[in-house]
Amino acid sequence: MDRIIVTGGAGYIGSHVCKALAERNLEPVAVDDLRTGRREAVRWGAFEQVAVENSDGLTQVIRRHKPVAAIHLAGLIMAGESVAKPLEYHQANVGGMLGLLQAMRATGLETLVFSSTASVYGIPAICPVTEAAPLAPVNPYGASKAICERLLDDCAAAGWLRPQALRYFNACGADDSGHIGEMHHPETHLIPLTIRAALEDGHVLAVHGNDYDTADGTGIRDYVHVSDIAEAHLLALDHLWAGKPGQPMNLGTGTGFSVRQVIAEVERQTGCPVKMTEGPRRPGDTPVLVADAQLARRVLGWTPRRSDLPTMVGSACAWHGRNGWPSE
Ligand SMILES: NC(=O)c1ccc[n+]([C@@H]2O[C@H](COP(=O)([O-])OP(=O)(O)OC[C@H]3O[C@@H](n4cnc5c(N)ncnc54)[C@H](O)[C@@H]3O)[C@@H](O)[C@H]2O)c1
């Protein structure tokens, strides 16, 4: 069975990627230092506890498992936190990318799919945002991912790397099995925060901004089911293995949902009111951030099949109903 290195394989999206690989008869090798991930999320294939900045350690992992490709999801993910901790974010995200690329170069591993983000666009002038929009990140998290994309371009131009960057919009939801799902600590993502504010005493959703120029005044984002995101990685591997050139691609649906729409769906599915406060806009937040996702559809043949709001919210409710919440 062909093996694939999955950095960040103990994390939320990485664990779903590992499952999708296993379902395709590919063997994931999860590489993760567990700084935010959970060992119990590694349920398919081997586990190697290594930091991605450690290129010698990664080189040994690659020599031992002889993978045919790598999928790089490891990294720090909180845009707000990155403003206070720029060095930590660049160390983990840029340093981690350098560590992985050095190990790939040392071992002759050429094929790489990379988790990038909509945050590379910053506050785009035109929405839905296409991949042609300028990269103008407004925080160190987005900047670190933009630098990683540049590193991929430079190594591709040098002739030894075949990279494909996928710019995810807002990942959410959980696998149908109920065995893996979102368990970030602290949680900053809207759907789990809203579900918790509906179901648990003492948890209140803070809505940042209710006076945007949108239909209901709240911000609109492009949510994508995590299993649809995982599926795109398999299509990206197929694309690269077919000898086709990689290029950055948005992973979104092109349909945005507002904060109030998410709240209404959570209330409908849980039968409980969402406890909330409404406050001012946060600096750096854009009213609407929605992908033009035509490129991934056209080039990869990617079709998000689970990214309607009831399915995304329903699967997240089922996951938290079964697994609870991260310990405080
Ligand atoms: N969740 C989203 O909505 C979203 C959106 C856009 C992009 N992304 C990107 O997707 C990737 C995965 O996100 P996630 O939500 O699954 O996050 P996550 O925190 O659940 O997973 C990240 C994993 O990487 C590991 N990790 C972090 N730094 C590491 C390092 N230096 N060495 C080894 N392991 C390390 C963590 O332990 C964790 O298991 C990230 O790169 C993130 O930037 C996520």
Percent of the chain with pLDDT over 70: 100
Q: Are residues 245 and 262 in the same domain?
A: no
Residues 189-201 have a mean pLDDT of 96
* Tens-place pLDDT, residues 163-188: 999 999 999 999 999 899 999 999 99
Determine the distance separating the centroid of ligand 1 and the alpha carbon of 214, expressed in angstroms. Answer: 30
Q: Where are the alpha helices (DSSP H) in the chain?
A: 12-23, 55-65, 79-84, 86-89, 96-107, 140-157, 190-199, 226-241, 259-270, 294-295, 309-323
- How far is Cα 79 from Cα 290, in angstroms, rounded to an integer? 17
**How far, in Å, are 39, 217, 282 from residue 116 at the CA level?**
23, 29, 23
Question: Does the N-terminal peptide bond of residue 186 adopt cis geometry, omega within 30 degrees of 0?
Answer: yes
- Per-residue pLDDT for 328 more than 80? no
Query: Using CA of residue 135, residue 140, residue 141, residue 143, what is the dihedral sign?
Result: positive
Q: Is 139 in the pocket of ligand 1 (CB under 6 A)?
A: no
pLDDT, mean of residues 278-285: 90
* Residue 77, ligand 1, Cβ within 6 A: yes
Ligand 1 centroid, distance to 294 Cα (angstroms): 25
Give the closest residue to 173 by CA, choosing from 234, 250, 230.
Answer: 230
Q: Are residues 138 and 162 in the same domain?
A: yes
Q: Is residue 234 situated within a structural domain?
A: yes
Tell me which residue has tokens 């350098």. 98
Average pLDDT of 28-43?
97
Whether 178 is covered by a domain: the verdict is: no
The CATH number covering residue 311 comes to 3.90.25.10
pLDDT at position 327 is 78
Integer Cα distance of 103 and 88 in angstroms = 21
Q: In this predicted structure, what is the pLDDT of residue 275?
A: 98
Q: Do 237 and 102 sit in the same domain of this protein?
A: yes
Does residue 150 fall inside a structural domain? yes
Residue 277: both structure tokens together? 């406060």
Residue 128 lies in a domain: yes
Phi and psi for 307 in degrees, rounded to 5?
-95, 30
Instruction: Tell me whether residue 180 is in a domain.
Output: no
Statement to judge: residues 162 and 304 lie in one domain: no
From 15, 16, 31, 32, mutation site for ligand 1 pocket: most ligand atoms within 8 A of C-beta: 32
**Whole domain around residue 93: which residue ranges?**
3-170+224-251
Q: Nearest C-alpha to atom 18 of ligand 1 is from which residue?
A: 11
Tell me whether residue 137 is exposed, middle or buried, using C-beta atoms within 10 angstroms of its C-beta: 0 to 12, 13 to 18, 19 or more: buried
Residue 228 confidence (pLDDT):
98
Percent of the chain whose pLDDT exceeds 90 = 96
Q: Which residues are known to be catalytic?
A: 141
pLDDT of 326 reads 86
pLDDT over threshold 90, residue 284: no
Q: In this structure, is residue 181 part of a structural domain?
A: no
Average pLDDT, the chain: 97
The verdict on residue 84 lying in a domain is yes
**Number of structural domains the chain divides into:** 2
From the CB of 9, is ligand 1 less than 6 Å away?
no
Banded pLDDT at 72 (limits 50, 70, 90):
very high
State whether 81 and 156 are in the same domain: yes
Residues 237 and 99 grouped into a single domain: yes
The CB of 10 under 6 Å from ligand 1? The reply is yes
**Residue of minimum CA distance from atom 13 in ligand 1:** 13
pLDDT in tens, 201-216: 999 999 999 999 999 9
pLDDT digits over 259-280, tens only? 999 999 999 999 999 999 999 9
CATH of the domain at 58: 3.40.50.720
* Residues 164, 285 within the same domain: no
The arithmetic mean of pLDDT across residues 245-271, rounded, is: 97
Distance CA 318, CA 178 (A): 7
Domain contains 179: no
User: What is the spatial distance between Cα 305 and Cα 183, in angstroms, rounded to a whole number?
Assistant: 23
Atom in ligand 1 nearest the alpha carbon of residue 119: 6
Does ligand 1 have an atom closer than 6 angstroms to the CB of 182?
no
